[in-house]
């Protein structure tokens, strides 16, 4: 097995037990590449023989993986100039945050002064919207420091790992993890810590790619949800529920869709099939991306019923 020595000089790989149950026995599941960035290396995912969780093993150590989250990583959104399509791009990003807000409003009772935490907040635009439109006090955690961005001013930003932060027990009325848990090296520890931070009646909302989805069956080893080596675990409907309840969280709802557009996985899955590991130039892809979205609009209208790519689970502390 190889990885990119240019990205992480001298990096070695570490063997790990199952993130969910601690089991050491597994069977090979799938190999994946960095289809988005195009950097060399093939990474192995295995299926736990005990609980069925699919996870990356061996994996890059935590100190080495950070190099794979560079300024071009999509969640950090450093690039703002997309030429004639800049307005369309900004609209799409705002629409994404509004879809998050719509999901949150279904399950969390938020008012002026409510406390909200976003784990893996990236560029922080969702938290900025939550503060502006709902009057929440907002906190974000990410190991990439983007606090210099102008809209980050109302956010109490913590740079580093979530489980190393100290917030105070039962502080938050809302905790969100938008495409964070599939990156996490210690998901059970994260879930346990989040449980203790929830206030009475608070909600934890987690969105991740869904392994048992239409898009995985279509694209298999070029499925965008693999995104190796950044994604360390791949959650099916069953394994996401299992890992959450293992940490004493109660399920409020479990949705076969998310705020993140399933179309992104359909578009990039086709692109990854064609490019075969050479990486996707987002600047060049932006025109066909929006054209394809327009053409597939009738199909995408049924996204919530089709189990295309995402899943969202809503959790609470035991009553």
209 token code pair: 């790619």
pLDDT 10s digits, 240-275: 999 999 999 999 999 999 999 999 999 999 999 999
What 98-102 contacts at long range (C-beta under 8 Å, 24+ apart), as own/partner pairs, is 98/129, 99/259, 99/260, 99/261, 100/126, 100/176, 100/178, 100/259, 101/126, 101/129, 101/130, 101/133, 101/134, 102/259
Average pLDDT over residues 207-233: 97
**DSSP string of 88-102, one letter each residue:** HHHHHHHHHHHHHHH
Name the least confident of 74-78, 193-197, 209-213.
74-78
Pairing relationship of beta strands 172-178 and 115-119 according to DSSP bridges: parallel
Neighbours of 294 (CB within 10 A): 9
pTM: 0.92
pLDDT of 4 > 70? The answer is no
pLDDT of 2 > 50? The answer is no
pLDDT of residue 9: 40
pLDDT of 185 > 80? The answer is yes
pLDDT 10s digits, 290-308: 999 999 999 899 999 999 9
Distance CA 228, CA 60 (A): 10
pLDDT of residue 319: 82
Please give the CATH architecture assigned to the domain spanning 26-316: 3-Layer(aba) Sandwich (3.40)
First-to-last C-alpha distance (Å) of the chain: 47
pLDDT of 80 > 80? The answer is no
Pairing relationship of beta strands 43-48 and 137-142 according to DSSP bridges: unpaired
> Among all chains, which residue has been given the structure tokens 């784990």?
119
pLDDT of residue 7: 37
């Amino acid at each position: 097995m190889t990885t990119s020595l240019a990205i992480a000089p001298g990096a070695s790989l570490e063997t790990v037990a199952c993130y969910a149950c601690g089991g050491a026995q597994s069977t090979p599941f799938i190999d994946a590449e960095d289809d988005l960035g195009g950097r060399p290396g093939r990474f192995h995912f295995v299926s736990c023989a005990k609980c069925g969780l699919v996870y990356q093993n061996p994996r890059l150590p935590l100190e080495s993986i950070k190099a794979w989250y560079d300024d071009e990583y999509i969640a950090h959104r450093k690039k703002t100039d997309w030429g004639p399509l800049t307005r369309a791009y900004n609209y799409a990003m705002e629409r994404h945050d509004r879809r998050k807000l719509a999901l949150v409003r279904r399950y969390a009772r938020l008012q002026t002064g409510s406390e909200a935490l976003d784990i893996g907040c990236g560029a922080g635009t969702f938290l900025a919207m939550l503060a502006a439109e709902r009057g929440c006090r907002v906190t974000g955690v990410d190991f990439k420091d983007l606090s210099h961005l102008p809209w980050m001013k109302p956010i109490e930003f913590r740079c580093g790992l979530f489980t190393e932060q100290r917030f105070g027990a039962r502080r938050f009325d809302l905790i969100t993890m938008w495409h964070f848990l599939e990156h996490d090296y210690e998901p059970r520890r994260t879930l346990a810590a989040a449980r203790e931070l929830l206030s009475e009646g608070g909600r934890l909302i987690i969105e991740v790619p869904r392994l048992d989805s239409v898009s995985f069956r279509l694209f298999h080893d070029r499925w965008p949800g693999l995104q190796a080596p950044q994604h360390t675990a791949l959650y099916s409907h069953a394994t996401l529920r299992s890992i959450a309840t293992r940490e004493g969280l109660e399920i409020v709802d479990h949705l076969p869709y998310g705020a993140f557009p399933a179309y992104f996985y359909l578009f990039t899955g086709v692109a990854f099939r064609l490019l075969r590991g050479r990486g996707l130039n987002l600047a060049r892809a932006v025109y066909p991306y929006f054209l394809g979205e327009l053409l597939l609009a009738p199909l995408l209208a049924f996204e919530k019923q089709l189990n295309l790519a995402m899943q969202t689970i809503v959790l609470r502390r035991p009553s």
